[in-house]
Amino acid sequence: MAQEVSEKSPPPPAGEGRGGGLMDKLVSLAKRRGFFFQSSEIYGGIQGIYDFGPLGVALRNNIKRAWWRSMVELRDDVVGLDAGIIMNPKAWVASGHVQNFTDPLVECKKCHRRFRADQVSGPRHEEDGGEFTESQQFNLMFKTFIGPMENSSTQAYLRPETAQGIFVNFSNVLNSSRMRPPFGIAQIGKAFRNEITPGNSIFRLREFEQMELEYFVPPADEMKWLEYWKEQRLAWYLTLGIRGEHLRLRPHDKDELAHYARGAFDVEYQFPFGWSELEGVAARGDYDLTAHQKASGKDLSYFDDITRVRYVPHVVEPSAGVDRTMLTLMIDAYHEEEVRGEQRVVLRFSHGMAPIQVAILPLSRKQPLTEMAQKVEHELRPYFRTEYDDTQGIGKRYRRQDEIGTPFAVTIDFETEKDQAATIRSRDEMSQVRVPLAQLRTELQDRLA
Ligand code: ATP
């Protein structure tokens, strides 16, 4: 089961810990099979930005759907929002991002490469011995301009988090819905951070996607809700099929906490490069609403007409990343095993997360096999995420489906026309059973449930 730890443990040295070389294998699989690619690769790529291929999009959609289902649709106390990526720049001044959303940066005086000051060891660059400059604060927000003039009055920012779009809409949602604290507003969307050192494939990106909930509560209940949400959020990752022993909750030390935060936990995963943040869950007090209230001059308080008390709600924020969840799912699902003297690579995705749930494979490209297989695929398509494939030898096709994590393959063979049956092959047991075509759907539904 997932554990709670009290101390930040240092990452294991490179190559040690879980799966030396696993990241390289995974990145190569991701490209070969179409999960993710370096962005604009034909031009040499662009650092910190990735594009998601057909299977990557399917996996991300499954993640986002599962999050939205559990955080919004299955609850009566959370509503959704989709705010603009570019906001009035005054919002970022009020939130503190213009002033404080910075990382300490040093530059090597010899090679002029730049690093995060907290990620270098010592006063000199290890590679070339160059001395580092004094550390300066570097703001991570991407800047852009609104309209045809480029000057300081038209400068705007790409949002570095989705949360502020929720805070500035607090009273719009309150006044247009029937929500009252405790209640939450959820949002999924792109965020941008000009990270000094992006890396570890899609772990630290410059363009990424967040899934955030701002949960507004009466001030006295804030810590109770922090406890509630940290447990809920950890449990959510288990429902995706991630193994509990690779997950933990880590409370923030006092010196890690933002000055306004009353408590925070990270949900961490044991990545091949060490335990790292998958999601942050923080009790933010009334910091954000009060800051926007002051800067905008608009009242962002709530009047409780039962207790007759007016207050600015406090906020508990679970903030997750689509990209890190995707990477985690792929790492956690990755298995290598030997089958009859050959190596088999399998992504053991849970049935809910698998990009393709059922592959339909005619044993050969001959008629009537392909026609029958296409018909089966069309019949199953409304019920499952399916894929039809008649390209190579059946062994290679099974291997591909294993590598992309497809739980079941239906093989249409030379007997099918006679016995009106097909074979279901299971990814995990590698067992094969013969099933009448008329029962394929219910058989698969039972197995995928
Ligand atoms: P880190 O300490 O790893 O930089 P953070 O504490 O700055 O992360 P938050 O601001 O709490 O991150 O963001 C919430 C979530 O958004 C993170 O847990 C992560 O899943 C995701 N996230 C943040 N920054 C990035 C990034 N650069 N690339 C990919 N995902 C990110």
Query: pLDDT (tens digit, 9 = 90+) per residue, 67-77?
Result: 999 999 999 99
Lowest mean pLDDT among 159-163, 244-248, 257-261, 286-290: 257-261
Task: Say yes or no: CB of residue 162 within 6 Å of ligand 1.
Answer: no
- Per-residue pLDDT at 3 exceeds 50: no
C-alpha 214 to ligand 1 mean position (Å) = 16
Rounded (10°) CA dihedral 160, 163, 169, 171: -150
Domain span including residue 375: 356-448
Separation CA 415–CA 283 (nearest Å): 62
Is residue 126 assigned to a domain? Answer: no
- For all residues of the chain together, what is the average pLDDT? 94
- Residue whose CA lies nearest to ligand 1 atom number 20: 321
Of ligand 1's atoms, which has the minimum distance to the CA of residue 319? 14
Q: Do residues 325 and 371 share a domain?
A: no
Please tell me if the CB atom of residue 193 comes closer than 6 angstroms to any atom of ligand 1: yes
Pairing of strands 302-304, 155-157: unpaired
Domain boundary among 330, 364, 393: 330
**What residue owns the CA closest to ligand 1's atom 17?**
279
The 10s digit of each residue's pLDDT in 349-362 is 999 999 999 999 99
Q: Say if residue 277 is in the same domain as residue 321.
A: yes
Res. 18: pLDDT tops 60 = no
For residue 219, pLDDT over 80 is answered with yes
> How confident is the model over 279-324, as pLDDT tens digits?
999 999 999 999 999 999 999 999 999 999 999 999 999 999 999 9
Assess whether pLDDT exceeds 90 at residue 213: yes
What Cα–Cα distance (Å) separates residue 49 from each residue in 195, 292, 325? 11, 31, 16
What are the phi and psi torsion angles at 17 (to 5°)? 70, -150
Domain-ending residue, one of 330, 346, 376: 330
pLDDT tens for each residue of 155-185: 999 999 999 999 999 999 999 998 999 999 9
pLDDT at 20: 60
Separation of CA 106 from chain center: 30
Q: Given a cut of 70, is residue 443 above it in pLDDT?
A: yes
How many domains does the structure of the chain reveal? 2
Q: At a CB cut-off of 8 Å and minimum separation 6, what does 90 contact? A: 295, 296
Which ligand 1 atom sits nearest the alpha carbon of residue 324?
20
| Minimal-distance CA residue to ligand 1 atom 8 | 277
- Residue ranges of E strands in 72-206: 78-80, 102-107, 114-116, 136-139, 143-145, 155-157, 183-192
Residue among 161, 190, 210, 326 whose CB has most ligand 1 atoms within 8 A, to mutate? 210
Banded pLDDT at 19 (limits 50, 70, 90) = low
Which of 319, 325, 329 for a ligand 1 pocket mutation test, highest count of atoms within 8 Å of Cβ?
319
For residue 340, how far is its CA from the centre of ligand 1 (angstroms)? 43
**Residue 73 gets which letter from DSSP?**
I
Residue 279 near residue 266, CB atoms below 8 Å: yes
- For ligand 1, the distance from its centroid to the CA atom of residue 348, given in whole angstroms, is 26
Q: The CATH number of the domain where 227 resides is what?
A: 3.30.930.10
Whether the predicted pLDDT of 14 surpasses 90 = no
- pLDDT at position 1 is 44
Query: Closest ligand 1 atom, CA of 267?
Result: 18
> Is the distance from the beta carbon of residue 328 to the nearest atom of ligand 1 less than 6 Å?
no
pLDDT over 90 percentage in the chain: 90
Q: What confidence score (pLDDT) does residue 121 get?
A: 87
Nearest CA to ligand 1 atom 24: 204
pLDDT over 50 (residue 416): yes
Judge whether residue 11 has pLDDT over 90: no
The tokens for 304 are 């409780």
What sign results for the dihedral spanned by CA atoms 364, 368, 374, 379?
negative
Give the pLDDT of residue 228: 98
pTM of the model: 0.94
Q: Which residues contact 105 (CB under 8 A, 6 or more apart)?
A: 114, 115, 116, 117, 135, 136, 137, 138, 196
* Joined tokens for residue 273: 């490069």
pLDDT at 10 over 70: no
CATH number at residue 398: 3.40.50.800
The two structure tokens encoding residue 38: 């370096």
Question: Quick one: pLDDT at residue 184?
Answer: 98
Whether residue 45 sits in one domain with residue 192: yes
Residue in 352, 414, 345, 60 with CA at minimum distance from that of residue 202: 60
Percentage, residues of the chain above pLDDT 70:
96
Q: Is any ligand 1 atom within 6 A of the Cβ of residue 274?
A: no
Ligand 1: does its nearest atom lie under 6 Å from the Cβ of 196? no
